[in-house]
Chain A
Amino acid sequence: MILGFLCIIVLAGGSFWAFMLFFGGRVLKGITIVIEEFVAQSSVLMLGLCIAVTLLLMKLLASRRVKHPKQYYVLIIIGFSISGLNAASLLATPYTIINANEEFNDAFGINWENSIPPNIQNCFLPTPYFFSSHFLSIPERQISVETDVLFYTGENITLYFDVYRPIGPPSELPGNGSIIINLHPGAWMSGGKGTWNMISTSKYLAGQGYVVFDIEYGLIDWFEYGAAAPDTPEYVMGNFTIEDQIRHVGIFTNRCESEFAATYGGNLDSVYFMGRSAGAHLAGVAGLGYNYDFHNTTFSPNMKVKGIIPLYPPSAAPDALLKENRTMNPDLYNAYDLAHLADIQDPPALIFQGTSDGQVWIERVEKLEADLESKGVDCCLLKFPFAGHANDFVLSSNIGQVWIYYLERFLYLTQ
């Protein structure tokens, strides 16, 4: 009796998971915009769970098969249907791959795959998706990790970074020591380096020969959006605005140029800004605004930015998080608006976006892509059907694997 009840609860959970897959957190809002972050990347496992409990129900209700066959078979059909709906994200994987190939064909020409030499291809994922890796994860290469390196003290905060880099000479790997400056998510007011900034992706890229700096920036302590990430460090909180956060990123670029690139073997002639959510907006401002007059003293002038990688990016800063609002100071607003910052000299962009994202809507990201392309920026938008916000957390999921497959190729093609 209790077991049957538990099975029904799991199936109810499976129905909710399926609902979230199709509609994301946009419909129900509230806590569901946080829950959606876990849904698509665990939906294959939810599929397995729902099938297991349906089979369990079959066994528990075996006596009803003869006495009440209609009830029995309806329940079993419902169980398998819920399981099937949870397969939506997995079944959409071929579409994701076709779409990603088309984006790469547009950006790099139809022969882009042939321009990657075989010895480099051997270092990459051989195929966009292995079902086996979904469960066993992607094997890690030996890398070096150094955490909590101080790069800034002032304004009552201290800022640290973690660095992930290859063991051995990066020149023998696809990354060739290119630097990736990785900015964490958290709605400009929470989160932090490490766990919230997808350690497994940083490790993977370090194994490919990239020097990944996962950096902190000052967080806005007076802003509240949803729920703050649980382990947000207190020592980065302050009375900041987005201008300050970009300034902190700029401080890092200057210190990277003068010290960290040499210390960790990073190549200043090939630098990428990568970020997630709010961090994606900051990465976009840094990568597209590098040559924009408003920001010309912010970043190190001796870095060559080769690409930006915004994942689920807001296209502009919320008015309230700048020192002056859009009406009072339109120039200030424009200096943090990605579409406005873009020009033909800007590096290419690779964007990750889930179609069920309830926090950063797909329509807005599609508009951002169109705006960037209209300004002459090569842009690849990788759309992941049924994925919500932050759905690159599990590197080996059907979403994570496809993302990594194209990310490593984008990085190599744009170096």
Chain B
Amino acid sequence: MRIQNKQIKYLCIIIFVANISSIILGVLHYFIGLNIIIGNIFSILIVISWFLNVGLIIFDEYKVDKSSILGKKINLLGYGFLFVHIIAILLLVGGLFLLNANWFSPLLQYSLILTGFISFFTYGAIFTYFNYKSLDSREVWKFE
């Protein structure tokens, strides 16, 4: 089956919405507490968003022509996404472990956690948006 430009556009929109929804629900998590319906939807959403983001990175790896200027930019943004991914995980590990430290301010503990969480999905949304915008540039993509 040939992948078409239109299908990727729809996919990018879904990934973008998933990322933004994850950020919104991440912030709401602290305000509305744990609710079984929202909690389960949020949990599924996080997994889907993460897989879609990772899927987009792999897709770009195979389908972007890195010899073009825009292709190079997308490739660099892909590297950036993976760096942000790694830093976000380190922030989350730090924040979650430090929640037990009586010598560390609670504000900083939660800042680490939220920064880690939000930065991942924010960068994911930006990365997706950039992919979406460049889909019309024929020299970038190998699927048409």
On A, residues with C-beta under 8 Å from B are 38, 42, 45, 48-49, 51-53, 55-56, 58-59, 62, 125-127, 130-133, 135-139, 147, 194-195, 198-200, 393-397
Contacts and interface: CB of A to CB of B under 8 A. Distances in A.
Interface string B59-95: 0010000100000000100110010011001001101
B61 A200 contact: no
Contacts of B78: 59
**DSSP class of A's interface residues: helix, strand, loop or mixed?**
helix
A72 B96 CA distance: 35
19 contacts: A45-B89, A48-B85, A51-B54, A52-B89, A58-B61, A59-B61, A127-B39, A130-B43, A132-B26, A135-B46, A135-B92, A135-B96, A136-B29, A136-B30, A137-B110, A194-B102, A195-B100, A195-B103, A198-B100
A56 B89 CA distance: 15
Contacts of A132: 25-26, 29, 39, 42-43, 46
A194 to B, nearest CB: 4
A404 to B, nearest CB: 11
Given A126-B35, A126-B39, A139 B30 contact: yes
B127 interface: no
A172 to B, nearest CB: 16
A42 B113 CA distance: 14
B76 to A, nearest CB: 10
Nearest to A198: B100
Contacts of A194: 102
Interface of B: 25-26, 29-30, 33-36, 39-40, 42-44, 46-47, 50, 54, 57-58, 61, 66, 75, 78-79, 82, 85-86, 89, 92-93, 95-97, 99-103, 110, 113-114, 116-117
A270 to B, nearest CB: 26
A48 B97 CA distance: 17
Given A137-B113, A195-B102, A195-B103, A127 B75 contact: no
B54 A55 contact: yes
A58 B29 contact: no
Contacts, number: 103
Contacts of A135: 46, 92, 96, 113, 116-117
B113 A127 contact: no
Given A132-B29, A136-B117, A52 B85 contact: yes
Given A42-B93, A199-B99, A131 B34 contact: no
Rank and list the top 10 A-B pairs by shortest CB-CB distance, nearest first: A131-B43, A126-B36, A132-B42, A194-B102, A52-B85, A130-B39, A132-B43, A199-B100, A200-B99, A56-B82
A45 B61 contact: no
Contacts of B30: 136, 139
B107 to A, nearest CB: 12
Contacts of B33: 139
A199 to B, nearest CB: 5
Contacts of A51: 54
A360 to B, nearest CB: 20
Contacts of B58: 55, 58
Given A45-B93, A139-B30, A393-B100, A131 B47 contact: yes
A57 B110 CA distance: 31
A56 B86 CA distance: 10
A195 B117 CA distance: 24
A56 B75 CA distance: 11
A396 B40 contact: no
A137 B26 CA distance: 11
B117 to A, nearest CB: 6
Contacts of B39: 126-127, 130, 132-133
Contact of B89 (A38, A48, A393): A48
Contacts of B66: 62
Contacts of B86: 49, 52-53
Contacts of A131: 43-44, 46-47
A136 B57 CA distance: 24
Given A126-B34, A136-B117, A393-B100, 17 more contacts: A45-B89, A48-B89, A51-B54, A55-B57, A59-B78, A125-B34, A130-B39, A132-B26, A132-B42, A133-B29, A133-B39, A135-B116, A136-B29, A136-B113, A139-B33, A199-B101, A394-B97
